[in-house]
Amino acid sequence: MEFFQTRDRLSLFYTARPAVSPKASIVFLHGVGEHIGRYEPALQAFAARGYHCYGFDQRGFGRSEGKRGHVHVFQDYVDDVAEFIARIVDEAAARPLFLFGHSMGSIVMLNYVLQYPQIIRGVLVFSCPLHLAGRLADYGAALAKKCSKYAPQFTVPTLIDLDELTDNPRVIDDFEHDPCRLSTVTFGWLNQFTLAREHIGRHAGRIVSPALICHGGSDRIAALSGAKALYERLGSKDKSLIVYPGFKHELLNHRPAESAQVLKETAAWLDKRLISLQKN
The one-letter code for the residue type at 270 is L
pLDDT value of residue 117: 94
Using one digit for the tens of pLDDT, what is the confidence trace for 157-199?
Answer: 888 999 999 999 999 999 999 999 999 999 999 999 999 999 9
Using one digit for the tens of pLDDT, what is the confidence trace for 27-69?
Answer: 999 999 999 999 999 999 999 999 999 999 999 999 999 999 9
Using one digit for the tens of pLDDT, what is the confidence trace for 215-239?
Answer: 999 999 999 999 999 999 999 999 9
pLDDT value of residue 271: 97
Using one digit for the tens of pLDDT, what is the confidence trace for 93-147?
Answer: 679 999 999 999 999 999 999 999 999 999 999 999 999 996 556 556 778 888 9
pLDDT value of residue 158: 87
Using one digit for the tens of pLDDT, what is the confidence trace for 204-213?
Answer: 999 999 999 9
Q: Which CATH architecture has domain 2-279?
A: 3-Layer(aba) Sandwich (3.40)
pLDDT value of residue 93: 62
**Residues near 9 by beta carbon (within 8 Å), at least 6 away in sequence:** none
Is the separation of the CB atoms in 120 and 113 below 8 Å? yes
Per-residue pLDDT band for 90 (boundaries 50, 70, 90) equals confident
pLDDT value of residue 1: 78
Task: Give me the residue spans of the domains in the chain.
Answer: 2-279
Tell me the β-bridge partners of 24.
Answer: 51
Is the separation of the CB atoms in 272 and 265 below 8 Å? no
pLDDT value of residue 175: 98
pLDDT value of residue 135: 58
Which residue has better confidence, 157 or 249? 249
pLDDT value of residue 276: 84
**Residues near 276 by beta carbon (within 8 Å), at least 6 away in sequence:** none
pLDDT value of residue 239: 99
